[in-house]
């Protein structure tokens, strides 16, 4: 499959897009026809980063375009080409020096969520440079769009059942097996904390379980927090904090997007995707601060705050994932405000005890422009989770190290897996950036796909 905004026939007539730095702008202009260069100067084009100047030809049509980029390569956003689809008129373009990252950025930047409004104007199309695996890039861009659509959809149309529908559609597309445990059946199946968090809602909680790949392949499991909407429960959120809670299923969107990439790439692994999908609502049946819940692992968990529900449902899912001792478990969750205070919305922290895994994640993050940053799993902070009445409290009760103590809580439920990494994602781009329109985002999904592709390449591939 080739994305409709990508053209592979380089012989087609296309408008050239030239990158221009401020310090070399005059040299760039000197290579253009005199009239075009004069027009750019008359427009006051200074090659400011992200600026576009359309240059007319003798017939008045667009003959070329100038695109301002950062002076220093190190300061340049790797996805800077993602700004172009929204800034160029409809048409076919050839970007000077385009590479694989530019093509992906172009497709990511062309994304628009149009479910509830008239579609945006047609985006500009790009001629792919020779040697680029356009089909692979198209699959990644499609998976990113899938995840963004899930996050952007409001909670009235994206509850636990709709998350299940999206998972079933994905499983059917790739011939994967899927089972779903719903409502009261969660108790009989041994998922008491998923049930407790979701039981107050009229929309039943559930655990979605997808399996794909040959049964004797190395096992890798993705776990995604699927809180369709988070009121905070009885520890109700203030209105400002609740406004964006449709994105609290962003971890599930990340897991499904990563799974789409893995299955679409045909990686040689036994993939499992676990999504606990709930709504954290308020009713007479809501779980309470001070309750003690039994987890799937058997640990008794004291509830310190019902607004820290995500780690509870993840704990049951992680315990299930751990039972078959996969080589790697990666979980995605919009888990803590502390992560955003520490690193902001664009840089999700990741936490793992596995040094080799941490090194691979850091390297691949930079390589594919899917940024994350490591925070320590500082063992002594586990003391903050002590409970006087149960095995563990699920929050520290203080304001310090919230992202780390949440990860330390999750770590208690993983013992057999070869490695475990936790991504505390924001799941949202608050201000549009090149390749990242404002709205839902599947942070670390491309990164996890790249990691798994490196470790478990498709059979018959050059890397296998």
Catalytic residues: 237, 311
CB atoms within 10 A of CB 408: 23
- Tokens 């691949």 sit on residue: 364
Of 75, 106, 96, 76, nearest to 28 by C-alpha is: 96
> Residue 98 is encoded by which pair of tokens?
């385009």
Report the DSSP pairing between strands 349-352 and 373-374: parallel
Sign, Cα dihedral of 384, 411, 176, 454:
positive
Q: Which tokens belong to 373? A: 């940053």
Decide if 299 contacts 391 (C-beta within 8 A): yes
What ranges in 175-306 are assigned the alpha helix state H?
185-189, 192-198, 239-242, 250-265
| 313 token code pair | 């449902």
Query: In Å, how far are 250, 373, 438 from 444, measured between CA atoms?
Result: 11, 11, 17
Exposed e or buried b per residue across 216-243, where buried means at least 16 C-beta atoms within 10 angstroms of its C-beta = ebbbbbbbbbbbbbbbbbbbeeeeeeee
Three-class secondary structure of residue 428 per DSSP: strand
Place of tokens 């057999």: 416
């Amino acid at each position: 499959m080739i994305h409709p905004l990508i053209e592979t026939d380089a012989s087609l007539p296309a408008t050239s897009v030239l990158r221009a730095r401020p310090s070399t702008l005059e040299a760039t202009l000197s290579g253009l026809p005199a009239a075009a260069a004069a027009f750019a100067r008359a427009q006051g084009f200074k090659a400011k980063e992200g600026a576009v100047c359309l240059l007319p030809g003798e017939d008045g049509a667009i003959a070329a375009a100038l695109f301002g980029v950062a002076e220093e390569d190190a300061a340049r956003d790797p996805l800077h080409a993602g700004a172009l689809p929204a800034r160029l008129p409809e048409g076919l373009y050839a970007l000077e020096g385009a590479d694989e990252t530019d093509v992906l950025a172009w497709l990511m930047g062309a994304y628009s969520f149009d479910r509830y409004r008239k579609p945006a104007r047609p985006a500009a199309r790009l001629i792919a440079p020779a040697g680029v695996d356009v089909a692979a890039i198209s699959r990644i861009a499609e998976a990113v769009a899938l995840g963004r659509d899930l996050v952007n959809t409001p909670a009235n149309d994206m509850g636990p059942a709709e998350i299940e529908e999206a998972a079933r559609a994905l499983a059917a597309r790739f011939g994967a097996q899927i089972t779903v445990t719903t409502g009261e059946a969660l108790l009989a199946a041994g998922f008491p904390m998923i049930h407790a968090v979701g039981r107050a809602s009229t929309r039943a909680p559930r655990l979605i379980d997808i399996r794909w790949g040959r049964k004797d392949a190395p096992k890798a499991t993705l776990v995604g927090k699927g809180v369709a909407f988070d009121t905070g429960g009885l520890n109700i959120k203030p209105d400002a904090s609740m406004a964006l809670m449709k994105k609290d299923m962003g971890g599930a969107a990340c897991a499904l997007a990563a799974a789409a990439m893995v299955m679409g790439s045909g990686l040689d692994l036994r993939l499992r995707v676990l999504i606990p999908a709930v709504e954290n609502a308020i009713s007479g049946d809501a779980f309470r601060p001070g309750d003690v819940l039994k987890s799937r692992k058997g640990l008794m968990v004291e509830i310190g705050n019902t607004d820290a529900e995500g780690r509870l449902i993840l704990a049951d899912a992680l315990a299930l994932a751990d039972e078959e001792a996969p080589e790697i478990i990666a979980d995605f969750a919009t888990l803590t405000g502390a992560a955003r205070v520490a690193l902001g919305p664009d840089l999700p922290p990741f936490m793992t005890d596995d040094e080799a895994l941490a090194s691979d994640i850091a390297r691949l993050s930079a390589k594919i422009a899917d940024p994350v940053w490591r925070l320590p799993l500082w063992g002594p902070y586990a003391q903050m989770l002590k409970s006087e009445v149960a095995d563990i409290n699920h929050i520290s009760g203080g304001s310090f190290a919230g992202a780390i103590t949440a990860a330390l809580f999750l770590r208690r439920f993983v013992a057999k897996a070869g490695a475990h990494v936790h991504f505390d994602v924001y799941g949202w781009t608050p201000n549009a950036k090149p390749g990242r329109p404002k709205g839902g985002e599947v942070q670390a999904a491309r990164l996890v796909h790249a990691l798994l592709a490196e470790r478990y390449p498709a059979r018959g591939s050059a890397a296998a």
